[in-house]
C-alpha cells in the first residue's frame, strides 16, 4: 500500500471517529441539560451548573477520614435558605432514612417506615405547653441512660433552650429541617437533621413525648444518634456521657456502695442549687436484663436526680428528700413505696410543704426518696458540674466559677492511645496530663 493510500485511510478513520465523538458530546450535553434541570441554576453566558444537594459538601481525602467532617460543614441557615428557595423538604444526606442509620450490626426486626411529623398526626408541635421531664418516654431502644440525661436537662430551662432551640416550629419557614447544639470534641457543634422518624404502624419506635403531637424529644434523640453514627450506637451507655455533651461540663463519679463520702448530702445540695445534672443507677444483674428489686427499683436502669430538698416536718425536724425520675412506667411496688401510700416521711410533712414540693400520686415517672433510702439502694451517682459556658454571672453571685483551659491534640494508635479499660496493660501509654496542687489551689 502506497504512502498516499495510507494517508487516505487515516483520513477516513479520523472522520469516522470525529463523528462518533460529536455524537457522544451531543449525548453528554443532553444528559447535562437534563441533570441541571433537575436541580441546577443558571449563571452568566447561558452556562448551567449542578446545584449541590442541600446539606452535602465535597470533602478532601483527609477530611473523609474524619467521620464528622461532613457534619461540621452543614450550616442550618444555608440549608434552610436553599430548601425554601427550591420549595423542597430537607433530606439529610449525612444521616439518610435507611436501615443502616438505625442498626449497624443487623437488620431491623420488622420493616420501619420513616415519616415526617405531619404524616403521623394532624397538628405537629415542636414543644407543647413547655418542656418537662414528663415529656420523655422511652421507646424500643435500650438508651435509658440518654433519656435520664434528657430528663435532667429539662430541669434547667437555660441549658435546655441552648441544646433544643425552642423557636423552631412546623409552620414558619418550615422545610423539614431542625437543629440542636451539643458539646463535641472540645467545642459546641451544631447538628442538623431532617424530621423523618422511624415508625411502625404510624407510631414512633424510639424516644417520644407523652403528648402524641410533640416532637422535640424524638428529634433530639435522632440528632444524638446522628452524632454517634446510628440509633443502635445509643444502646447502653452512661448518663454522664450525655450530660457532658449537653453542657460541656465535667462529671464526678461517686461509688455509693463502698466509698460514700461523708459530706455527700452537702455535695448534692450544692450541685442541685447550681443546676448541675445528676444521675444514679444500681449495678446490673449479669444474669438478667433490668432485674426488678423488691422495692420496685430496676437494676442496670438509669435514673435522674431532679431535686434535692431539706424539708421541715410537723415536729420541726429538718430532713433531706430526693426527687428522682424514670423514663419508664414505674412498677406498682415502687409506686406504693415512694408515692406516699406507705411512706413514713410523707406523714411528717404538712400539707403546705407537700404542695411546695409538688407532691402528687400519679404514675408520672417521678418519685421521692429519703436520703437514707437513696444511699442504701443506689450504687453509683454521677454529677455533671456545669462548665463556664453554661453559667451566667447572675447565676454565680458570691460563688466561685469554673474556669476552663483547653489543649488540642489527637489520639494516635499505639503512641498515646492504648484503648479502653478492656486493655489495662496498654492504658499506661494513654495521653494524660499531670496536675499538681499548688499552695493557692487546694483542690483540683
For the chain, how far is it from start to end, CA to CA, in angstroms?
A: 94
384 is catalytic: no
325: helix, coil or strand? strand
Neighbours of 216 (CB within 10 A): 24
144 is catalytic: yes
Is 277 exposed, middle or buried (CB count within 10 Å of its CB: 0-12, 13-18, 19+)? buried
**Helices in 56-143 by DSSP H: which ranges?**
61-64, 69-72, 76-86, 117-120
Distance, CA of 29 to CA of 223 (rounded, Å):
40
Neighbours of 146 (CB within 10 A): 30
Q: Which three cell numbers stand for residue 283?
A: 449495678
Distance, CA of 40 to CA of 34 (rounded, Å):
9
Describe the crossing of helices 239-247 and 144-153 by its angle, rounded to 10 degrees.
40
Distance, CA of 181 to CA of 166 (rounded, Å):
12
Give me the catalytic one of 144, 155, 175, 384: 144
Give me the catalytic one of 280, 301, 337, 384: 301
Place of cell 438505625: 102
Distance, CA of 362 to CA of 250 (rounded, Å):
34
Distance, CA of 304 to CA of 384 (rounded, Å):
12
Q: Which residues pair with 181 in a beta bridge?
A: 190
Residue 91: partners with Cβ closer than 8 Å, 6 or more residues away: 54, 97, 176, 194, 196
Q: Please list the active-site residues.
A: 144, 301
Amino acid at each position: 500500500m502506497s504512502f498516499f493510500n495510507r494517508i487516505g485511510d487515516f483520513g477516513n478513520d479520523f472522520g469516522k471517529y470525529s463523528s462518533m465523538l460529536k455524537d457522544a458530546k451531543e449525548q453528554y450535553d443532553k444528559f447535562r441539560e437534563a441533570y441541571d434541570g433537575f436541580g441546577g441554576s443558571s449563571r452568566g453566558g447561558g452556562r448551567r451548573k449542578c446545584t449541590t444537594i442541600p446539606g452535602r459538601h465535597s470533602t478532601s481525602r483527609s477530611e473523609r477520614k474524619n467521620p464528622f467532617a461532613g457534619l461540621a460543614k452543614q450550616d442550618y441557615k444555608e440549608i434552610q435558605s436553599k430548601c425554601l428557595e427550591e420549595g423542597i423538604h430537607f433530606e439529610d444526606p449525612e444521616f439518610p432514612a435507611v436501615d443502616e442509620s438505625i442498626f449497624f450490626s443487623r437488620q431491623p426486626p420488622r420493616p420501619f417506615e420513616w415519616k415526617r411529623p405531619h404524616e403521623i398526626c394532624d397538628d405537629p408541635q415542636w414543644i407543647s405547653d413547655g418542656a418537662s421531664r414528663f415529656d420523655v418516654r422511652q421507646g424500643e431502644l435500650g438508651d435509658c441512660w440518654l433519656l435520664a440525661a434528657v430528663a435532667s436537662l429539662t430541669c434547667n430551662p437555660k441549658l435546655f433552650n441552648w441544646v433544643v432551640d425552642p423557636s423552631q416550629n412546623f409552620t414558619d419557614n418550615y422545610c423539614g429541617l431542625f437543629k440542636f447544639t451539643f458539646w463535641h470534641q472540645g467545642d459546641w457543634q451544631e447538628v442538623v437533621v431532617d424530621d423523618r422518624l422511624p415508625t411502625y404502624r404510624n407510631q414512633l419506635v424510639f424516644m417520644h413525648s407523652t403528648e402524641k403531637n410533640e416532637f422535640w424529644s424524638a428529634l433530639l434523640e435522632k440528632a444524638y444518634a446522628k452524632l454517634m453514627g446510628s440509633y443502635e450506637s445509643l444502646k447502653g451507655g452512661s448518663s454522664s456521657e450525655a450530660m457532658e455533651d449537653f453542657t460541656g461540663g465535667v462529671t464526678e463519679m461517686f461509688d455509693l456502695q463502698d466509698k460514700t463520702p461523708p459530706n455527700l448530702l452537702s455535695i448534692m445540695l450544692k450541685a442541685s442549687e447550681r443546676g448541675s445534672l445528676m444521675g444514679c443507677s444500681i449495678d446490673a444483674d449479669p444474669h438478667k436484663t433490668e432485674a426488678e428489686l423488691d422495692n420496685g427499683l430496676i437494676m442496670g436502669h438509669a435514673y435522674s436526680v431532679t431535686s434535692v430538698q431539706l424539708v421541715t416536718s410537723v415536729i420541726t425536724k429538718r430532713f433531706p428528700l430526693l426527687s428522682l425520675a424514670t423514663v419508664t412506667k414505674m412498677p406498682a411496688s415502687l409506686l406504693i413505696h415512694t408515692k406516699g401510700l406507705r411512706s413514713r416521711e410523707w406523714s411528717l410533712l404538712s400539707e403546705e410543704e407537700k404542695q411546695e414540693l409538688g407532691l402528687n400520686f400519679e404514675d408520672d415517672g417521678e418519685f421521692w426518696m429519703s436520703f437514707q433510702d437513696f444511699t442504701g439502694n443506689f450504687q453509683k451517682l454521677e454529677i455533671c458540674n456545669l462548665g463556664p459556658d453554661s453559667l451566667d454571672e447572675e447565676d454565680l453571685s458570691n460563688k466561685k466559677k469554673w474556669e476552663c483551659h483547653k489543649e488540642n491534640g489527637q489520639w494516635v494508635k499505639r503512641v498515646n492511645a492504648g484503648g479502653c479499660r478492656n486493655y489495662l496493660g496498654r492504658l499506661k501509654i494513654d495521653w494524660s496530663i499531670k496536675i499538681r496542687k499548688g499552695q493557692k489551689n487546694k483542690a483540683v
